Amino acid sequence: MPALVRPAMKVIKSPKAGKKTKRFKCSGCRATLEVGGKDLKFQADPRDGNAYSFTCPECKQDTWIAADLIPQAMRPAARG
């Protein structure tokens, strides 16, 4: 068996990586917000499935989004 060769190449940019932000509407004041991965808080919900929430900078209300609607590339790593 030959030893596994680790690829030395590094991906700088790939369309597969996708966008790191997505626009969502605040459920409180209806503001359109450009939400990034840093803005999302992971919310584990055993009944309805996992979700993420973000806090609107305008009205400070939390908006919950089903995890399925968050592109993989912008999801913050789930801990635990």
Interface positions with Zn ion (CB under 5 A): 26, 28-29, 31, 56, 58-59
Q: How many CA atoms lie within 13 A of 41 on its CB side?
A: 9
Residue closer to Zn ion (CB basis): 35 or 56: 56
Cβ of residue 16: shortest distance to Zn ion, in angstroms?
32
Residue 53's φ and ψ, nearest 5 degrees, are: -130, 155
Cβ of residue 60: shortest distance to Zn ion, in angstroms?
7
CA angle 25, 30, 75 (to 5 degrees): 20
Residue closer to Zn ion (CB basis): 32 or 72: 32
